[in-house]
Amino acid sequence: MKKNTYYNFSAGPATLPLTVLQQAQAEMLNWHDTGFSIMEIGHRTELFQQLLTEIKNDLRQLVNIPSHYHVLFFAGGANTQFSAVPMNLLGDKQHADYFNTGVWSVLAMQEAKKYCQVNDVTTAVPNACYAIPDKTTWQFDPRAAYVHYTSNETITGVQFHQIPDVGSVPLVADMTSCFLSQPIDISQFGLIYAAAQKNFGQAGVTLIIVRDDVLSQALAITPATLDYQLQIKNNSCLNTPPTYAIYILGLMLQWLKQQGGLSAMEKINRRKAAKLYAAIDASDFYHNQVNPTDRSIMNVTFTLPDENLTKQFLHIAQQAGLYQLRGHKKLGGIRASIYNAMPEAGVDTLLAVMKNFERS
């Protein structure tokens, strides 16, 4: 099977642009005329340090990151940041606010509870996993060191389309499944973290963007590798960083630039999602449970009338070259993850399969 003859709707690790994979392949045995693979080059060499600097500069330019924000590359995925965030941001405080809008929020809260008292901002609206609870119901704890939210809940397909206003308390966002899908005003945030394998790279590296002034002395129990201030001092190289994943992230940034940057990506991403939701809404056969104004532009979930039809649909889709459309095991149904690297033609093919299947 050739990469350009099928579409991969995996929620993560997710599809990468063909040209990025081809460039990685072409450079695999001889990176920048070194005679070595990028995998075989020391992280403290001038060569790799230069690459890190270039990637950081590309990112700063692409996202427009103000100079009082640090950019860090961590191993350990987004789940590791569920612990690193409280350990680095609590300082003398013992409380933190969390929006609970789905599975990833809950996992972040569970980890945070090991280090502090967690207040569920959205507790007034139980099971808020198919809609972002209305502002008027939010309950903040005045003692909170920070407010955490999950910008896009990857499993249900619920997304904040506005940055929540939390006043002067630092806002922390898990943007793992939506970072770099659209322009973003970094200055609204104290800290953003995003594992790369959904929307801008491969598994292994997590990007952190953190404002200078939100960093407290890390808790005494903080592992050195998870101490943001130590990692800032060491340019993310306190220990060996995930060098190959960082390299692929760098290629993705160049690809995003070639696509016209984040405004151009947003237009395409919105158009892809709008087409799918319009088809679902126009049909009595497919159903999406998410509040229309809170629907994700990255993960489009829908159900068919029964499990048997869902199985048949997945089978027919695969025959048409559409892969990994099965919904998360907790939800069932279908999930089309349509991140940056999913071509619009993939969505158009999916729409055609949906129409034909409904008719038959």
Ligand X SMILES: *Cc1c(COP(=O)(O)O)cnc(C)c1O
- To ligand X, the closest distance from the beta carbon of 12 in angstroms equals 5
Q: Residue 161 — φ and ψ, nearest 5°?
A: -100, 0
99 to 128: interface string for ligand X, x by CB under 6 A: -----x------------------------
Q: CB-wise, 77 or 321, nearer to ligand X?
A: 77
Report the candidate in 76, 92, 82 with the shortest Cα–Cα distance to residue 236: 76
Q: Does 294 bind ligand X (CB under 6 A)?
A: no
Interface with ligand X: number of residues (CB under 6 A): 12
- To ligand X, the closest distance from the beta carbon of 188 in angstroms equals 18
**Stretches 2-10, 113-121, 172-180, 349-357: which one binds ligand X (CB under 6 A)?**
172-180
Report the candidate in 267, 263, 286 with the shortest Cα–Cα distance to residue 278: 286
Distances in Å between the Cα of 108 and the Cα atoms of 85, 112, 198, 274 are: 10, 6, 18, 30
Tell me which residues in 179-208 interact with ligand X (CB under 6 A): 195, 198
Q: Does 156 bind ligand X (CB under 6 A)?
A: no
Residue nearest to ligand X (CB): 77
- To ligand X, the closest distance from the beta carbon of 133 in angstroms equals 18
**Stretches 37-45, 84-92, 170-178, 247-255: which one binds ligand X (CB under 6 A)?**
170-178
Question: With contact defined as beta carbons under 8 Å apart, do 95 and 117 qualify?
Answer: yes
Known catalytic residue: 275? Answer: no
Report the candidate in 357, 350, 315 with the shortest Cα–Cα distance to residue 9: 350
Report the candidate in 324, 316, 318, 286 with the shortest Cα–Cα distance to residue 304: 286
Q: Does 174 bind ligand X (CB under 6 A)?
A: yes
Three-state secondary-structure class, residue 9? coil
Three-state secondary-structure class, residue 114? coil
**Stretches 87-95, 131-139, 171-179, 211-219: which one binds ligand X (CB under 6 A)?**
171-179
- Beta strands (DSSP E) in 260-345 are 299-302, 322-323, 334-337
Report the candidate in 350, 348, 349 with the shortest Cα–Cα distance to residue 336: 350
Selecting among 31, 56, 97, 104, the annotated active-site residue is 104
Q: Does 77 bind ligand X (CB under 6 A)?
A: yes
Selecting among 56, 138, 198, 227, the annotated active-site residue is 198
Q: Does 12 bind ligand X (CB under 6 A)?
A: yes
Selecting among 31, 97, 120, 174, the annotated active-site residue is 174
Known catalytic residue: 134? Answer: no
Q: Does 300 bind ligand X (CB under 6 A)?
A: no
Known catalytic residue: 272? Answer: no
Q: Does 145 bind ligand X (CB under 6 A)?
A: no
- Beta strands (DSSP E) in 169-211 are 171-174, 191-195, 206-211
Residues contacting residue 223 through CB under 8 Å, at least 6 positions apart: none
Question: With contact defined as beta carbons under 8 Å apart, do 151 and 159 qualify?
Answer: yes
Annotated active-site positions, please?
104, 174, 198
> Which residues contribute to the site for ligand X (CB under 6 A)?
12, 77-79, 104, 150, 154, 174, 176-177, 195, 198
